[in-house]
Amino acid sequence: MAKLYFNYSSMNAGKSTVLLQAAYNYEERGMNTLLMIAAFDDRGGQGRIASRIGLAAEADIFSSGDNLFEHVREKHGKAPIDAVFVDEAQFLTEEQVWQLAKVCDELRIPVMCFGLRTDFQGKLFPGSAALLALADNLKEIKTICWCGRKATMVARLDGEGRIVEEGDQVVIGGNERYVPLCRSHWAERKLG
């Protein structure tokens, strides 16, 4: 049985690196993969998954209105797909998570999703909430706070390096905008 996987963490834990390594392992064995990333996340370039350590790969993009089951089924009909990898999975809609579950159940293709669990206010992203509810396998990818403890939260910074407590749930950015923190230092708003 193909499974739906959710690999989650705070910022800067290496989710994209793990995704790219896993996809490479499939491809090295002659298997065909489909990589996907949210359309508005263009930090590595439009339609490109890129890690902070320099790994990158081309990927199909998805937007909130896209039917991912139909997208995968169409691609699978042209060339058999052995695994689907989704980066920035927190940006999936609940409906899209159900569509990816259908990819596993009906097309028998494993789907590996990688993304954040919570936003800068400590709230679940819609895609992450659905994945936590529906995934067959959950795995936390760990990173650390400046104090050395496990980081489970993320703080958003303004242009001056101060913690932002209000605003849109989604603001694309990397190390210059987000800092992983342990729950204690996140609650204290302490950057170290």
- At residue 185 the predicted structure's pLDDT band, cuts being 50, 70 and 90, is very high
* Model confidence pLDDT, tens digit, residues 72-88: 999 999 999 999 999 99
pLDDT of 15 reads 86
All domains of the chain in start order, with CATH: 4-141 (3.40.50.300)
Any residues with CB less than 8 A from the CB of 157 and at least 6 apart, and which?
163, 164, 176, 177, 178, 179
Q: Which residue has the tokens 């993304």?
A: 115
For β-strands 48-50 and 56-58, DSSP reports them as antiparallel
pLDDT of 170 reads 66
- What average pLDDT does range 150-155 have in this prediction? 91
Q: Which pTM value belongs to this model? A: 0.89
- What average pLDDT does range 60-71 have in this prediction? 94
DSSP H helices in 9-107: 15-28, 68-78, 94-107
Does 70 or 177 have the greater pLDDT score? 70
pLDDT of 158 reads 84
Q: Angle 98-124-138 (CA atoms, 0-180°, nearest 5)?
A: 60
* Model confidence pLDDT, tens digit, residues 79-120: 999 999 999 999 999 999 999 999 999 999 999 999 999 988
172: pLDDT strictly greater than 70: no
Output Rg (C-alpha) for the chain, integer angstroms.
17
Task: Say which of 88, 140, 160, 176 is annotated catalytic.
Answer: 88
Any residues with CB less than 8 A from the CB of 79 and at least 6 apart, and which?
32
Annotation says 88 is catalytic = yes
Minimum mean pLDDT range among 15-19, 24-28, 66-70: 15-19
pLDDT of 44 reads 61
